């Protein structure tokens, strides 16, 4: 019984130590970077199929519009004219830091490479983001660049 008590105490101490060590690492918030916010938005919509999560990184006006559709498939079909069974989402990597040029605004181009009904699908979308209280939010879906 005594052995069990010391074992449980030791286990509890080690667990608390490990958890406190994990808490000291600085987490990178996805709202600190417009490229990550844009990718997180489409990832929530197409891969996680979570409209509320996608709307959480949008301005109130855009979030209201997105939530009106209720399903991720409806949002993808009506707002973006895109449907995917699976998709890889990447931001443009031109090397130019847009957010350094425009401190509170950014335009991000996102590349999609996926499949729908066993067909390969590639697409590009552009988003306008604004910085509100230090967090980037998607404000507008820009017209198709091509």
- Whether 54 is in a domain gets the answer yes
Residue 64 maps to which CATH number? 3.10.450.50
pLDDT at 141: 92
Residue 1 resides in a domain: no
Whether residue 25 is contained in a domain is answered as: no
Q: Which helix (H) or strand (E) holds 95?
A: none
For the chain, the domain total comes to 1
Q: How far apart are CA 82 and CA 91, in angstroms?
A: 17
Can you give the residue range of the structural domain that contains 66?
30-141
d(CA 32, CA 136): 6
Furthest C-alpha separation in the chain = 73
> CA-CA distance, 94 to 91, in Å (whole number)?
9
Please say whether the beta carbons of 111 and 90 come within 8 A: yes
Query: Per mean pLDDT, which range of 39-43, 85-89, 101-105 is the poorest?
Result: 101-105
Average per-residue pLDDT for the chain: 78
Q: Summarize pLDDT for 65-78 with one digit per residue, the tens.
A: 999 998 999 998 88
- Inform me whether the pLDDT recorded for 145 exceeds 70: no
Give residue-wise pLDDT tens across range 7-55. Answer: 434 333 334 333 334 433 333 345 678 999 999 999 999 999 999 999 9
> Is residue 23 domain-resident?
no
Using pLDDT thresholds of 50, 70 and 90, give the confidence band for residue 104.
confident
> Which residue has tokens 């519009």?
65
Report pLDDT for 94: 66
Report if residue 13 sits inside a domain. Answer: no
Give 87's DSSP letter: E
Please name the residue that has the structure tokens 């990832």.
Answer: 43
Residue 41 burial (CB < 10 Å; 0-12/13-18/19+)?
A: buried
Coil vs helix vs strand at 128: strand
């Amino acid at each position: 019984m005594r052995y069990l008590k010391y074992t449980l105490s030791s286990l509890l101490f080690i667990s608390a130590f490990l958890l406190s060590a994990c808490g000291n690492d600085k987490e990178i918030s996805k709202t600190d970077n417009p490229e990550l916010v844009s990718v997180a938005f489409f990832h929530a919509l197409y891969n996680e199929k979570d409209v509320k999560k996608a709307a959480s990184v949008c301005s109130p006006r855009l979030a209201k519009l997105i939530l009106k559709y209720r399903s991720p498939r409806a949002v993808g079909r009506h707002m973006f004219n895109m449907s995917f069974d699976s998709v890889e989402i990447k931001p443009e990597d031109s090397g130019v830091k847009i957010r350094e040029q425009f401190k509170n605004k950014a335009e991000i181009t996102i590349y999609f490479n996926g499949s729908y009904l066993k067909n390969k699908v590639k697409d590009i979308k552009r988003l306008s983001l604004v910085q509100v209280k230090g967090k980037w939010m998607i404000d507008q879906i820009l017209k198709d660049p091509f």
